[in-house]
Amino acid sequence: MPSFFTGRLIGPACAAFAVALLASCQSPRPPAPTANTAALPTMERVALGANSCWFKSGDPAFKSYRLAPELNSFSGRPRILIVPRKSPEARPLAVVQAEGQPARLQAFGPLMSEPVGTRMSADIRRWAAGGQGCK
C-alpha cells in the first residue's frame, strides 16, 4: 500500500506529464502566407492590379490606353503591354515583364518616362510584392 507521501508525488508528476504530452501534440502556428515570387504569379498579380486600378476604375490618367496582357509566354517572360486604346496593334507605350524565380521585373517604354510613370512603378512594385488595392 503506497504511503501518503508517495501519493502526493505521483499525482502532480502525472499531471505534469499529461500537460507535456498535450503540448507536444500541438503543431506550431503555420507561417503567414507569402506571395509566390515566380515570374508568372507575379505578373498575374500585376496584371490584375493594373486592370482594376488603372483601367476598370476609370482613372483619367489611363483613359487613352488599354491593357494587353501576354501572360502565356513561351519565352519564360510573361508580360503586360499598355497600348493606345484606339490602336491596340500599335507599338506598346509601356511593357512590364518578369522572368525567373524569384521574379526579376522590368518596366520600360515611353510611358514610363511620363509623369504617370512614377506612379506606375510604385504600383507595380507593390502588386509584385503581394500588395493589393489602388493608391
Query: How is residue 123 annotated by DSSP?
Result: H
Cβ 99 vs Cβ 39: under 8 Å: yes
In this prediction the pTM is 0.73
The residue written with cell numbers 512614377 in the block is 118
Q: Return the pLDDT at 1.
A: 53
Looking at residue 12, its pLDDT comes to: 56
At 52, the pLDDT band (50, 70, 90 cuts) reads: very high
Strand order from edge to edge, sheet including 79-84: 65-70, 79-84, 94-99, 104-108
Question: Is the pLDDT at 43 greater than 90, yes or no?
Answer: yes
The fraction of the chain above a pLDDT of 90, given in percent, is 67
8 vs 37, more confident: 37
Number of Cβ within 10 Å of residue 133's Cβ equals 10
Q: How far is residue 95's CA from residue 79's CA, in Å, rounded to a whole number?
A: 7
